[in-house]
Amino acid sequence: RSVAPQCPRVILQGPRGSGKGTQAALLSAKYGLVNISMVELIKQAIADNSKVGNMMSTYIDKKMMGKSKNNRHLMECGPLPDNIVLKCLVERLSKLDCATKGWVLRGYPKSRIQAEALSEAGYAPNRVYFLECPTDTIVERLSLRRTDPVTGNRTISSTTLLLLLK
């Protein structure tokens, strides 16, 4: 075991609605880590027309044939090939800010094969946290979420917010 200081490499796992995004934002703010959401990373790569983004876009377009391309959503097309997703992630993790500050990752890996591939690529985490949350709480949180049709940002509706504040 090395005595050299290590940059934090944190992975947050858990079901949708368990608070991974919230906890990642808190860890990022407190410790100066780079906050990486796999879904946002994929969306950004596609929007930037990067080489990997174009590969993903082509795959999504093929899977989305017959569906409206204006409303295409990553979850509707099924999983992207692991090798393409890993390339996208490795490109991001190899940037200077991740190498110097460390990172907190959510949304990846989803399987043991993906975890092993990430480790083989040289980006094994030194911390993995699984966020447990009661099913009732998850259902409540997910039912309160709203998505802005213009920006795609998730928010809590003003009506729901008023109910929560009572």
Beta bridge partners of 147: 154
Residue 3 or residue 22, greater confidence: 22
- Confidence check: pLDDT of 66 > 70: no
Kindly give the pairing relationship between strand 9-13 and strand 127-130: parallel
Helix (H, G, I), strand (E, B) or coil at 72: coil
146-160 pLDDT, tens per residue?
Answer: 666 777 666 665 555
Confidence at 140, pLDDT banded by 50, 70, 90: confident
pTM of the full structure: 0.75
105-138 pLDDT, tens per residue?
Answer: 999 999 999 999 999 999 999 999 999 988 887 7
- Distance, in Å, from the CA atom of 137 to the CA atom of 140, rounded to the nearest integer, reads 5
Q: For residue 70, what pLDDT is reported?
A: 46
- Distance, in Å, from the CA atom of 79 to the CA atom of 73, rounded to the nearest integer, reads 11
- Confidence check: pLDDT of 25 > 50: yes
Q: For residue 60, what pLDDT is reported?
A: 81
